[in-house]
Copies of this chain bind each other. A is one copy, B any other.
Amino acid sequence: MPVVKEFEKLFQCSDIDITALAALVSGGLYYLSLHKDRSPFCGIDINTPEGYERIERAIEFLVKKIYEEGDIQDEKKAIARRLLEAGVDEDVIKRSVWG
């Protein structure tokens, strides 16, 4: 999937496995599409506008959370960089910033 490659570039400096997340979420979408002529799945019928919107909002939620985690990790890296520049021990930084 070329689009996944683009996202991989965005998240390559984080420890977020965007490829695995994309596989899960897009697999979920495929499954719900393949399932749509059968009974609702988990009580959600994506043939209805309401069901479709719920899945849309769930994807938006997950994307927001993944980007938020990316921001948190960027911030942690900036903290670690400043601590390193200030001469703080690398082990102390590792334990303190990443717990």
Contacts and interface: CB of A to CB of B under 8 A. Distances in A.
B42 A35 contact: no
Interface residues of A, number: 35
A79 interface: no
Nearest to A44: B23
Interface string A35-68: 1000001111000000000110111011001101
A83 interface: no
A1 B27 CA distance: 19
A79 to B, nearest CB: 19
5 contacts: A17-B61, A20-B42, A23-B58, A24-B55, A24-B59
A51 to B, nearest CB: 8
Given A4-B42, A65-B65, A69-B65, A23 B17 contact: no
Contacts of A19: 42-44, 54
Nearest to A54: B20
A84 interface: no
